[in-house]
């Protein structure tokens, strides 16, 4: 089938569709109302919950910071707090930017460029978050031990003997998946951008 | 105005998704976004140009969500989404037509849809943001691509 033939078929179909009306005014109003409600109730729920948990942890560590009585515990405390505050904000910000494409004002090309760039940025934030997560996993354990049980876990050699190899193994296996997953997304975004430049 | 152009919304939904559930969701999303974005409509420009722009841009932003199945909403308000069937031969050809379009890239899908809608190159350029000559080049490329696909 040639493109001109396709066009003819498309015209026939369009004429037929114009005769058939699915929507009523009431349905349009109902659909927009329902969508509006759904949007309000589903604003990035998983990310929002994650952010609340992170902020609560940061607040807890901040209020009890005085209990961290050695320089290394303080350093672990600072790393944990910064991680809990900065990363969720970056993550929410990149998701929020994805939603901010002006559908009426941007052309299709502009919307695609913005979308691809934001996707690329989102992947970078997710990747950075994952790798920093490993540092966080190491830093948060002594802080939690000190604040919740009053113990300096950094002095517990036995614990670190199994915790570090376990964390490394987990990180290694998981990072393979993360790399593969996000690399294909980033590659897709870059191909799209290249295609748009032509 | 939305009701007047519902055929276009239906076609955009079918071009971007092959699953009926996704088509239904996108259809509702476009109706919602047209309603929501109406403030951005500049009376000096053509309503249909603005509408195609919103519909296509909504489809792009919806592609990711559909993939991740996030933010999905129930679609019970649109039970009778399917149009009345055409005659079997035409139905089959239309199905094939949509399938062929779905093999194209996201950029090509938008351009071919506007081309099939009978839009001149200048209007396609105004909706998509590509230059008129670039639209022409891309349409020729799509023609070749579809030809190759048919001969396979």
Residue A99 lies in a domain: yes
Q: Of A116-125, B74-83, B136-145, which one has max mean pLDDT?
A: B136-145
Confidence band for B151, pLDDT divided at 50, 70 and 90: low
Quickly count: other Cβ atoms within 10 Å of residue B59's Cβ.
25
Residue A4 lies in a domain: no
Residue A41 lies in a domain: yes
Which residues of chain A have a pLDDT value below 50?
43
Residue A149 lies in a domain: yes
pLDDT tens readout for residues A135-172: 888 888 889 888 888 888 878 888 888 888 888 888 77
How far lies B74's CA from each of A9, A140, B26, B28, in Å?
A: 32, 40, 12, 10
Q: Which two tokens stand for residue B65?
A: 């969500």
> What is the structure's pLDDT at A12?
84
Q: Is the pLDDT of residue B113 over 90?
A: yes
Report ipTM (2 d.p.): 0.79
Best residue of A11, A46, A108 to probe chain B, by most B CBs closer than 10 Å: A108
Continuous segment of H or E residues that includes residue A115? helix A108-144
Inter-chain CB proximity B86 and A17 less than 8 Å: no
By the 8 A CB rule, do B84 and A20 touch? yes
Quickly count: other Cβ atoms within 10 Å of residue B147's Cβ.
13
Q: Is the pLDDT of residue B2 over 60?
A: yes
Least confident residue range of A137-146, B15-24, B142-151: B142-151
Confidence band for B75, pLDDT divided at 50, 70 and 90: very low
By the 8 A CB rule, do B128 and A111 touch? no
Q: Is the pLDDT of residue B133 over 90?
A: yes
**CA distance linking residue A149 with residue A152, whole number of Å:** 9
Name the DSSP letter for residue B82. Answer: S
CB distance from B1 to chain A under 8 Å? Answer: no
Residue A19 lies in a domain: no
> B65 or A109: whose pLDDT is higher?
A109
> What is the structure's pLDDT at B84?
65
Residue A155 lies in a domain: yes
Domain boundaries B84-152, CATH class: mainly alpha
Residues of B whose CB is below 8 A from A115? 60-61, 64
> What is the structure's pLDDT at B71?
45
Residue A16 lies in a domain: no
> What is the structure's pLDDT at A58?
92
Report how many domains make up chain A: 1
**CA distance linking residue A155 with residue A79, whole number of Å:** 19
Q: Which two tokens stand for residue A125?
A: 């934030």
Domain boundaries B1-83, CATH class: mainly alpha
Residues spanned by the domain of A126:
26-197
CA terminus-to-terminus distance, chain A: 28
Domain limits, chain B: 1-83, 84-152
> B15 or B41: whose pLDDT is higher?
B15
Residue A21 lies in a domain: no
> What is the structure's pLDDT at A81?
93
**CA distance linking residue B35 with residue B37, whole number of Å:** 6
Best residue of A12, A13, A33 to probe chain B, by most B CBs closer than 10 Å: A13
């Amino acid at each position: 089938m040639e493109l001109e033939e396709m066009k003819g078929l498309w015209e026939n179909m369009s004429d037929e569709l114009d005769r058939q009306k699915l929507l009523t005014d009431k349905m349009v109003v109902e659909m927009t109302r329902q969508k509006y409600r759904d949007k309000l109730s589903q604003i990035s729920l998983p990310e929002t919950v994650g952010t609340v948990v992170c902020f609560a942890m940061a607040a807890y560590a901040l209020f009890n910071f005085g209990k961290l009585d050695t320089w290394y515990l303080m350093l672990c405390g600072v790393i944990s707090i910064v991680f809990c505050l900065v990363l969720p904000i970056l993550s929410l910000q990149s998701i929020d930017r994805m939603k901010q494409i002006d559908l009426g004002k941007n052309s299709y090309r502009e919307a695609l460029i913005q979308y691809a760039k934001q996707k690329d940025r989102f992947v970078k934030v997710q990747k950075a978050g994952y790798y920093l997560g490993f540092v966080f996993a190491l830093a948060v354990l002594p802080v939690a031990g000190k604040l919740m049980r009053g113990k300096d876990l950094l002095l517990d050699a036995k614990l670190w003997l199994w915790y570090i190899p376990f964390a490394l193994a987990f990180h290694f296996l998981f990072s393979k998946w993360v790399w593969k997953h996000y690399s294909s997304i980033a590659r897709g975004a870059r191909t799209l951008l290249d295609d748009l430049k032509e | 105005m939305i009701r007047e152009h519902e055929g276009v919304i239906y076609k955009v939904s079918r071009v971007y998704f092959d699953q009926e559930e996704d088509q239904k969701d996108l259809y509702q999303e476009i109706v919602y976004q047209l309603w929501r974005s109406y403030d951005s409509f500049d009376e000096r420009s053509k309503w249909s140009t603005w509408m195609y722009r919103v519909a296509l841009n909504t489809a792009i932003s919806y592609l990711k969500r559909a993939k991740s199945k996030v933010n999905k909403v129930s679609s019970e308000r649109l039970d009778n989404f399917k149009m009345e069937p055409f005659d079997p031969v035409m139905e089959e050809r239309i199905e094939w037509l949509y399938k062929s379009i779905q093999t194209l890239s996201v950029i090509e899908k938008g351009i071919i849809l506007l081309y099939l809608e009978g839009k001149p190159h200048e209007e396609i350029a105004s909706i998509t943001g590509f230059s008129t000559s670039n639209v022409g080049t891309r349409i020729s490329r799509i023609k070749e691509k579809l030809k190759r696909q048919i001969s396979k």
